[in-house]
Amino acid sequence: MIYIESQTLSGCRVSHSLRGSYGVRIETTMLSQEQLTSSHECERAWIEIDLAALAANTRSLRQWLAPTTELLAVVKADAYGHGALTVAQTVLAHGATWLGVATIPEGIALRQAGITAPILVLGSVNLPVQVQMMAQWQLQPTLSTPKQALIFSDYADRLREPLDVHLMIDTGMSRLGCPWQDAVGFVQFVQRLPHLRIQGIYSHFASADDPDASLMRQQQAYFEQVWEQISALGLGPVRRHMANSAATLANRSSHYDMVRIGLSLYGVYPASHLRGVVPLRPVMQVRSRITLLKEIPAGTGISYGHQFIAPQPMKIAVVGIGYADGVPRLLSNKLEVLVQGKRLRQVGAITMDQLMIDVSDMDGLQEGDVVTLLGEDGGDCLTVETWAEALGTITWEILCGFKNRLPRIPVS
């Protein structure tokens, strides 16, 4: 006989029985509709966003800067997978004054949510309809060419107010930006356009996270050479900015009027030699649940392709998260997880929605128990750096890879 006990929120317990011979007792709790839609208890996997850590990181980075240097928080790619709106609200409350996005829709979403801080679009914009959208939502563009400047100026002719723009100077990244050798002429060209107002002039380091700082110094020298000539043009107040997270930590002379910080806000150091320059705490923790426990005999293959064969009888747990959620398949048989503070190995190929772990040495586990893939549990911690090292990639890619079907749960 199976006994099922259900409990309503009012505390009334109702017992049900089903025919069978398993002899198990199951207790279920009925949740309200509000709880069902707001609680992560019903989720197979989720991401916790530690707002206290995010706030502390923002304050630490703010204190590292001179009082006159502003902090632009880079919240592109859904704030590196952390949730752009929640991150924007938190960092603006703790020292950031600007936001940086990659695309117009990212900026519009923040404006629609009530964010009023200046927003710089770091990507390239070329179409008149895009200019109209940026003007409507008060987003500041990055201009790299005279052609772009003319497109913006032609549209701004219809407006009562000039459009604020930032000019990008390519000092060695070879991505966006006017070549630094032509930068003075480019600035003069934009300066003559009656409907554009230069708010910033900036560049981007190509290797600020490299312990060898020679390329960073060269780029900075080009930028300062350009600025020395530009400063004589009578532009008025213009923000100079060049430093990303790595340069902010490694090279205080590159801070200028503003820094653009992304990765470090989220508690990840851009390189091992920069660890500890300022205190940072990881903001993201990735968790899932055990969905099934089973025992398998020796010689049993696990998952697609039988990449792992059980060397002896094993107890395995199926976990409700996979590569469609952002756990790279290339981590198969390399991944470790935490369950009740103990490190366990993942076995077999990671599948689209699930992965398997070896729980042979664990007693008392149940379906529904929490599995930590990234973050802390029981005094131990699994880091995004470990994943990146195992995959031969960068931490940025790991953080941005977690999909939207994983709800972001703010915690503090």
Catalytic residue among 147, 294, 304, 403: 304
CB 201 within 8 A of CB 227: yes
Say how far apart CA 240 and CA 258 lie, in whole Å. 7
d(CA 146, CA 177): 11
Say which of 76, 155, 269, 323 is annotated catalytic: 76
* 294 flagged as catalytic: no
147 is catalytic: no
Asked if 81 and 399 count as a contact pair (C-beta separation under 8 A), the reply is yes
Q: Do the annotations mark residue 352 as ligand-binding?
A: yes
- Neighbouring residues of 358: CB distance < 8 A, sequence distance ≥ 6: 314, 315, 316, 344, 345, 346, 347
Residue 405 assigned to a binding site: no
Strands 308-309 and 408-411: what pairing? Answer: unpaired
Closest CA to 271 of 286, 250, 255, 252: 250
- The residue type found at 219 is Q
Binding residues for substrate: 175, 352
Active site (catalytic) residues: 76, 304
Residues of each annotated binding site: 175, 352
